[in-house]
Amino acid sequence: MGALIEQWKQQARKLKIETYALYLAYRDPRVPLYARIFAGCVVGYAFSPIDLIPDFIPILGYLDDLVLIPLGIKIALSMIPENVMSESREKAQEIIHQDKPVNRLVAVIIISIWLLLAALSIAFMVKIFKIMSQALLGAGFPLRLQYTAQVFVRGINSSEIGVPL
């Protein structure tokens, strides 16, 4: 059991170095644009404090950490020239052993992107709800449901309508 845990720790250290090396490689101008975009997305997701599937969900919560990130790294590594990756791995090992890889600007950017996506999702859902409720109001719903929907959508009092709800 102890050997298995040690092996997992070793794999986690390797994944950390590979992720940071990928970050360094993605910033290298010798890397093609399509590889830079893909690597940037993988690194951004790997370093993001917000997961696609939250970790508190049993089993599925760690699925993205155990499958998606390593798979994304593997695909990104196949797109980047080997000489660039070997240089980036050396730099990554040096920086990680010095405990330097802290970039607060990148963290702020990643969190801002997630907040923007959340705000856009909420705005989209509100717009869809309004469209659906307006369609339902015009579809000849029974009178009581129609007035209830008006109260909910427009925020008017039932006394203004003249029908008790």
Q: Band the pLDDT of 121: cuts 50, 70, 90.
A: very high
The token pair that represents 40 in the structure block: 């940037």
Name which residue leads in pLDDT, 160 or 62.
62
* Number of residues that this document lists for the chain: 165
Q: Evaluate if pTM is beyond 0.85.
A: no
Residue 165: is its pLDDT beyond 50? no
Is residue 163 within 8 A of residue 147, CB to CB? The reply is yes
Q: What pLDDT, in 10s, does the model give residues 13-48? A: 788 888 888 988 988 889 999 999 999 888 888 877
- Average pLDDT value over all residues in the chain: 78
What's the pLDDT at 160? Answer: 56
